[in-house]
């Protein structure tokens, strides 16, 4: 009999390092010249440097290296797909196994909290300009922090009650504890960034209003993808056929989703979100089965997340796509599947179905009327995240169609750099206009 792990929905799945075990792990690091791990991070985090700091007894320096580069460094330490980024690049793979870079990053960020460090500081003096970010997910947080560090006054508009976006509403707390997300958010609010919660842009207030009426010099859109994709098969509207984002959000808001306890739950999908739905349901006491239309090799989910799901005793059936959902009294009772080979068929009894088959953009016309869209139905941007609307920038899932947290951070930073360039150019133009006017007056 294989030993299956149990756990609590709110408890951290993997324990972290203490001072001693962190140094032991850091001592395994080969301290490479031109460290390959440091080239493996999309957000430009420098693991070679922060691991060296841990190794040489400077955990505070390690925390600085991480936080200065990535305001979501705490969350990334938990949810980054290390196995295909820095850890895959690790030279130690040629000897035995890579350094546990993610866990060392987590240790370093924990030191920041333990020592009550305030790594990021906004420059003193008058603000250079007034900008705002829409949405408070990883891309917006990264963008807001860069702008605040550069001396701009930044306001973040968020329709939910809490910042963090997908970090706070989309991931199992066992995989990403809220306290870690909160620490990341604190590093941004500590820069003087103001958060306005419960305000959705695109309803009463439009992006154009923000520029024209509210006096923002530029606007960043990092709203993410919050509309669940549908399969387009009969029975999707039955009761207890849930959308992944709604399910995860509700579970996080309520500290669990006990309705699924003791019930049969079918999760449909093969991405990280599907794994999060499955583990969330399992940790809330459900009997969970994942059904995926392709193979494990083709699944977009991180292999660690698949391992984690399996370790909890969750089964995965591959090469089966949903055909229809059936039920009694409007409530789902069966899911029928068709095999990828066109010959196989399956029918499974269930109490809940969770559809985790990708997310889509919500109403883009309401958010940013007239902005160009990409083929995927996301916002189309040029280099630096410039949308087709002047002064409006965008990055993160709403542009790339849903990638990793670390890529959202990287793109948020890039957009911030482009915004700063845009704002500086705008300020220069404003300055150069004035002397011309006075010259004219002089002529008169």
**Interface with other proteins by CB under 8 A: which residues?**
18-21, 23, 27, 31, 33, 49, 52-53, 56-58, 60-61, 64, 68, 115, 119-121
- Kindly tell me which of 23 and 205 has the beta carbon lying closer to other proteins: 23
- Kindly tell me which of 146 and 158 has the beta carbon lying closer to other proteins: 146
In 3D space, the residue among 142, 123, 164 whose CA is nearest the CA of residue 68 turns out to be 142
Nearest-approach distance from CB 66 to other proteins, in angstroms: 12
- Kindly tell me which of 125 and 342 has the beta carbon lying closer to other proteins: 125
In 3D space, the residue among 82, 17, 14 whose CA is nearest the CA of residue 43 turns out to be 82
CA distance 420 to 170: 30
CA distance 257 to 312: 17
Locate 121 and state its tokens.
């500081």
Count how many Cα atoms sit within 13 Å of the Cα of residue 150 in the half-sphere of its side chain.
21
Nearest-approach distance from CB 223 to other proteins, in angstroms: 30
DSSP secondary structure, 325-338, as one string? EEEETTEEEEEEEE
- Kindly tell me which of 5 and 121 has the beta carbon lying closer to other proteins: 121
In 3D space, the residue among 273, 268, 265 whose CA is nearest the CA of residue 302 turns out to be 273
Nearest-approach distance from CB 60 to other proteins, in angstroms: 4
- Kindly tell me which of 29 and 225 has the beta carbon lying closer to other proteins: 29
Question: 165: helix, coil or strand?
Answer: coil
Nearest-approach distance from CB 167 to other proteins, in angstroms: 25
Nearest-approach distance from CB 404 to other proteins, in angstroms: 27
- Kindly tell me which of 124 and 434 has the beta carbon lying closer to other proteins: 124
Handedness of CA 397, 399, 403, 407 (dihedral sign): negative
Nearest-approach distance from CB 308 to other proteins, in angstroms: 24
Locate 197 and state its tokens.
């919660």
- Kindly tell me which of 8 and 298 has the beta carbon lying closer to other proteins: 8
Nearest-approach distance from CB 436 to other proteins, in angstroms: 39
CA distance 84 to 330: 43
Question: 71: helix, coil or strand?
Answer: coil
| Biggest CA pair distance of the chain | 95
Nearest-approach distance from CB 20 to other proteins, in angstroms: 4
Q: Which helix (H) or strand (E) holds 246?
A: helix 244-254
- Kindly tell me which of 115 and 197 has the beta carbon lying closer to other proteins: 115
Whether 115 and 157 have beta carbons less than 8 Å apart is answered as: no
């Amino acid at each position: 009999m294989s030993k299956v792990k149990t756990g609590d929905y709110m408890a951290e799945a993997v324990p972290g390092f203490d001072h001693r075990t962190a140094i032991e792990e850091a001592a395994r690091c080969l301290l490479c010249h031109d460290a390959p791990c440091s080239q493996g991070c999309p957000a430009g985090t420098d693991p070679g440097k922060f691991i060296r700091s841990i190794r040489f007894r400077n955990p505070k320096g390690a925390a600085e290296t991480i936080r200065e580069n990535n305001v979501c460094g705490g969350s990334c330490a938990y949810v980054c797909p290390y196995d295909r980024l820095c850890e895959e690049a690790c030279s130690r793979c040629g000897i035995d196994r890579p350094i546990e870079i993610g866990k060392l990053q987590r240790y370093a960020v924990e030191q920041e909290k333990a020592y009550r460090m305030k790594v990021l500081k906004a420059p003193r003096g008058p603000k250079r300009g007034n900008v705002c970010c829409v949405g408070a997910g990883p891309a917006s947080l990264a963008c807001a922090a860069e702008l605040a560090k550069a001396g701009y006054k930044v306001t973040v508009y968020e329709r939910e009650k809490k910042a963090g976006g997908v970090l706070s509403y989309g991931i199992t707390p066992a995989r990403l504890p809220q306290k870690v997300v909160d620490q990341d958010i604190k590093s941004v609010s500590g820069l003087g960034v103001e958060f306005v919660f419960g305000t959705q842009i695109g309803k009463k207030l439009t992006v154009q209003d923000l520029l024209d009426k509210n006096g923002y010099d530029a606007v960043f859109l990092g709203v993410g993808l919050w509309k669940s994709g549908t399969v387009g098969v009969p029975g999707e509207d039955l009761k207890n056929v849930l959308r992944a984002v709604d399910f995860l959000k509700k579970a996080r808001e309520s500290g669990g989703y006990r309705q699924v306890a003791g019930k049969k739950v079918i999760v449909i999908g093969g991405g990280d979100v599907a794994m999060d739905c499955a583990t969330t349901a399992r940790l809330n006491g459900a009997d969970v089965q994942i059904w995926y239309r392709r193979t494990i090799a083709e699944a977009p989910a991180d292999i660690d997340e698949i391992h984690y799901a399996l370790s909890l005793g969750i089964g995965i059936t591959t090469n089966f796509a949903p055909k229809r959902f059936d039920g009694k009294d409007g409530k789902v009772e069966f899911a029928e599947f068709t095999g990828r080979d066109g010959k196989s068929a399956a029918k499974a009894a269930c109490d809940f179905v969770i559809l985790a088959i990708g997310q889509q953009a919500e109403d883009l016309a309401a958010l940013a009327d007239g902005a160009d869209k990409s083929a995927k139905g996301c916002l189309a941007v040029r280099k630096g995240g410039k949308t087709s609307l002047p002064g409006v920038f965008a990055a993160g899932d709403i542009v790339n169609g849903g990638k990793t947290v670390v890529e959202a951070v990287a793109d948020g930073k890039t957009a911030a750099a482009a915004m700063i360039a845009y704002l500086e150019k705008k300020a220069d133009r404003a300055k150069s206009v004035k002397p011309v006017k006075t010259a004219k007056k002089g002529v008169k």
